[in-house]
Amino acid sequence: MVIQWYPGHMDKALREMQNLVKLVDAIIYVLDARAPFSCLNPKYKEIIGNKPAILVLNKADLVQDIDLKNWEKFFNENGYETICLNSTITNATKSLISKTDLLLKDKIEKYKSKGIHIPIRMMVIGVPNCGKSTLINNVCSNKKTVTGDKAGVTRSNQWVKIGGDYELLDTPGTLWPSFKDDKVARNLAYIGSIKDEVIDINELAFAFINDLKNNYYSNLVDRYDLKCDVNCETIDIFDEICVNRNFKLKGNEIDYNRGAKAIIDDFRKGRLGKIILDNIAEVKNVFKIF
């Protein structure tokens, strides 16, 4: 399936971020741990420039520990400060603040030596639905930004003060004008970074089942009590999932639409187990962040 989604507000948001980046000391780059490579927005390269940056593998609870460690190691070996966390857990972001203090240690000490107090300002960036606003609310220990489990909740820049020491800039989730890699586009659709309303949900679920055949077919078998083996046609697997869940229309016809929504929702809510969509071996030769 071919997926393209780039609403006009994203282009505007990128231009505004380009202007605002000069006001911040560092970048917090939030990635969904289920698709860390797919979440890397090529447009962010020119925005970040030479600013210090921390990569946050967010939603870490939805990925196996070994996969998290491998991606964290991969990013670190390529010269990027990286941290893994689940921003829905209270105080989970304390380690992020500690990492920021180390990253900006020279600037912080310079301010102290001059006897001045200037809050550290950080811009939080990432694709839609990667958990930026939830992360900021975690840092704040209370709800200061609007959150949601779908793409496009944050539509404008929001400055959030954290005590007297930090200020975070929550930015709208943004994609890029066109996807050169269909797999990247699919992965972003699976995790909810692309608005569901612009996608054929049946095609998306069909593609998802097909993609999971390689490494996670047992997850589908366990969740939906499948008798089809991995060599079955994808449509037959889709049919069995719908039949087993009694997703039917009048006349005993299969309700693919209901089945598709259930499959994608099960993945997003972690009911299919811990799944990572990106493979380090497949992206090593094309890896580039900044």
Pairing of strands 166-170, 120-125: parallel
Q: Which amino acid is at 143?
A: K
The pLDDT, as a whole number, for residue 151 is 45
Integer Cα distance of 266 and 94 in angstroms = 30
- What 3-state class would DSSP assign to 90? coil
Pairing of strands 166-170, 158-162: antiparallel
Q: What is the pTM of this model?
A: 0.90
Integer Cα distance of 134 and 22 in angstroms = 24
Integer Cα distance of 166 and 120 in angstroms = 5
Q: What is the pLDDT of residues 223-235, one digit of tens each?
A: 999 999 999 999 9
The pLDDT, as a whole number, for residue 150 is 47
The pLDDT, as a whole number, for residue 227 is 97
In degrees, to the nearest 5, what angle opens at C-alpha 136 toward C-alphas 133 and 141?
125
| Contact indicator for 56, 30 with CB cutoff of 8 Å | yes
Question: Exposed e or buried b for every residue in 25-34, given b needs 16+ CB within 10 A?
Answer: bbbbbbbbbb
Q: Which residues partner with 29 through β-bridges?
A: 55, 125
Q: What is the pLDDT of residues 58-88, one digit of tens each?
A: 999 999 999 999 999 999 998 889 999 999 9
The pLDDT, as a whole number, for residue 91 is 85
The pLDDT, as a whole number, for residue 69 is 96
Q: 234: which 2 tokens?
A: 């994808």
Regions of the chain short of the pLDDT cut 70: 142-156, 287-290
Integer Cα distance of 158 and 13 in angstroms = 12
The pLDDT, as a whole number, for residue 165 is 83
3-state secondary structure 172-203: CCCCCCCCCCHHHHHHHHHCCCCCHHHCCHHH
In CATH terms, the fold of domain 8-178 is Rossmann fold (3.40.50)
- What 3-state class would DSSP assign to 223? helix
Q: Is the dihedral of CA 145, 167, 48, 61 positive or negative?
A: negative
Domain extents in the chain: 8-178
